[in-house]
Structure 1
Amino acid sequence: MPLSQQLLLAATLTFVGAVVQALLALKSGAWKQGRAQLMLMAGGFVLQTAFIYLRGQEVGQCPMKSLSDILVFIAWSILLLYFLVGPAFRLSLLGVFTAPLISIMQIMALVGGFAPYAPKGKINALVELHAAVALIAYAAFALACITGVMYLVQERMLKKHRIGGLFYQLPPIQGLSNAIQRLVRLGLLLLSIALGISFALQTSVSNPKLVFSWVVWALYAVISILMWKHFTSPRKTAWLAVIGFILPFISLWIVTHA
């Protein structure tokens, strides 16, 4: 196994360890603002970054062409946004819900394998920027999905009167609802920028990747409007964020095999 993939495997095991550590800490009542978990997540992020760097050296460009590479790049972007928005939204438990998704995505990438890229001419920086911004937008939608899951979990605990260690670490339920809306808008803004770059590149409108990007943009534009106009309840807002991520996630398989 190449060094790059060894690093990715180590990163994946680190994220799995973060989940296990967090669950044990919550069960024992020893959770202290997730400091240990934060350190594990930071360590995993460093390993992810090292993998992306080495993988880029192997293929001679930013590794965002194969499905496995895209999954890792989105997982890396999710973690980057987690460090940026988690403290801002006071989502101390966001990592507990984020780490499993990242682990699954990276396991899928490792199972899928990392084949070399076909020879390519001069790299267009705008093309690379378009792809990177679009994938970071997908990461924002993924975080909105994860935050939606947190909302639904807390709501269910309230209804079932299951007040325990996990419940006390979750932020106010209204705060989760606001975080979902902000993350959806952030993702929509980033995807709009990516599509704007595609106009500058004069990309063919029949390009499968561009078509699905517009479909995803339209979906989240509708979701954003529904949230903005308060046409949906906070619970439905959470469900929209969770179910809405299915489309961009599935589209990754379609566009990489088109």
Structure 2
Amino acid sequence: MEPVFIITTITYMCSCACYFGYLFFQKGALQRMAAGLMTLGFALHTIFLAVGGVRSGHFPVNNLHETLSITGWALAAVFLALSLKYKLKILGIYAAPLIVLIMIAAYQMPTPVAQDPQLFKSWWLAAHIITIFIGNAAFALACGLGLLYLLQENAIKQKNRGFFFSRLPSLDLLDTSGYACIVVGFSMITIGLITGVVYAKAIWGRFWSWDPKEVWSAITWLFYAAMLHERLTVGWRGRRAAVMAIIGFGVLLFTFLGVNFLLQGHHGTFTAR
């Protein structure tokens, strides 16, 4: 199935090129081609993951190669769903390159077999992984929307409105869609953490073990919970919300990658080998 992975990555690359072509030339045909290629890449990616899971007999997350592949798949899924709902055509200039980078990184990673594949044969683990990765993808897109918000805000403030002003959506749309991503992401990681502790109880006999990944996942959850609380009670919107979404994604990146590489724990054993 390795050729399918390579074809999928190339399809994402072509989609990325078309999105940037749309950014510069503003031709609807380029945007439609980009969206079509992204959809095709996602379909191929889904087939690749499904066949790989069937062949291995467990959910494909037992090394960093598979984990990154799932990350790219989740990001493509959330991006396509968000594009359908909010018509954010230009968001592809952020999402597509990120997906391509993740897929290239996944291709470069070795694919050793986990020590105990039986640990991965659990519906609780499948639910945990899917919801966590979809949540992380939503937070990644919230970061992208925050970056686009800051670019558009800067363009509006300038007397001589430049390149991005006519190409980016309104500040209100960027803010609203960014908030929607935070809500979806927070809901998904909440479900992911709940299924994770249930799975931990079944495998290790305890709900919580103070593993570094567990601790930082809780910190990430609290950060986004605080963001939502301030949005609903104080009215955090606009620039402040955009900046916090970017900072939150930094915390998320450390939780996802930094903990595995810098700190020891059983999560690192499975997903960052």
Same fold by TM-score, threshold 0.5 exceeded?
A: yes
TM-aligned CA deviation for residue 20 of structure 1: 1.8
Q: Name 1:162's counterpart in structure 2.
A: 161
TM-aligned CA deviation for residue 232 of structure 1: 3.6
2:65 equivalent to 1:68: yes
The question of whether the paired residues in 2 share the 8 Å contact of 1:68 and 1:113 is answered with: yes
Query: Counterpart of 1:93 in 2: which secondary structure?
Result: helix
Q: Name 1:83's counterpart in structure 2.
A: 80
Counterparts in 2 of 1:117 and 1:96: CA distance versus 1, 3 Å: same
Q: 4, 10, 17: which one pairs with 1:20?
A: 17
Distance 2:29 2:231 in 1: 33
Unaligned runs of 5+ in 1: none
TM-aligned CA deviation for residue 32 of structure 1: 4.5
The question of whether the paired residues in 2 share the 8 Å contact of 1:59 and 1:117 is answered with: no
Q: Name 1:235's counterpart in structure 2.
A: 239
TM-aligned CA deviation for residue 33 of structure 1: 7.8
Q: Name 1:136's counterpart in structure 2.
A: 134
CA offset digits 1:77-100 (Å, max 9, x no partner): 111111212221221212222001
RMSD, aligned CA: 2.2
The question of whether the paired residues in 2 share the 8 Å contact of 1:22 and 1:31 is answered with: no
Q: Name 2:268's counterpart in structure 1.
A: 257
Count of aligned pairs: 254
Range with bigger deviation, 185-194 or 13-22: 13-22
TM-aligned CA deviation for residue 102 of structure 1: 0.6
TM-aligned CA deviation for residue 186 of structure 1: 1.1
Query: Counterpart of 1:121 in 2: which secondary structure?
Result: helix
Equivalent AA in structure 2 for residue 172 of structure 1 = S
The question of whether the paired residues in 2 share the 8 Å contact of 1:90 and 1:171 is answered with: no
TM-aligned CA deviation for residue 163 of structure 1: 4.0
Q: Name 2:90's counterpart in structure 1.
A: 93
The question of whether the paired residues in 2 share the 8 Å contact of 1:185 and 1:224 is answered with: yes
2:38 equivalent to 1:41: yes
Unaligned runs of 5+ in 2: 202-206, 261-266
2:115 equivalent to 1:111: no
The share of aligned pairs that are identical, in percent, is 24
TM-aligned CA deviation for residue 58 of structure 1: 4.6
Equivalent AA in structure 1 for residue 224 of structure 2 = Y
Distance 1:21 1:40 in 2: 9
Equivalent AA in structure 2 for residue 43 of structure 1 = L
The question of whether the paired residues in 2 share the 8 Å contact of 1:81 and 1:140 is answered with: yes
Distance 1:225 1:132 in 2: 25
Distance 1:121 1:72 in 2: 21
Moved over 4 A (4+): none
Equivalent AA in structure 2 for residue 190 of structure 1 = M
Q: Name 1:200's counterpart in structure 2.
A: 198
Q: Scaled by the length of structure 2, what TM-score is found?
A: 0.83
TM-aligned CA deviation for residue 128 of structure 1: 2.1
Distance 1:155 1:32 in 2: 28
Counterparts in 2 of 1:30 and 1:198: CA distance versus 1, 3 Å: closer
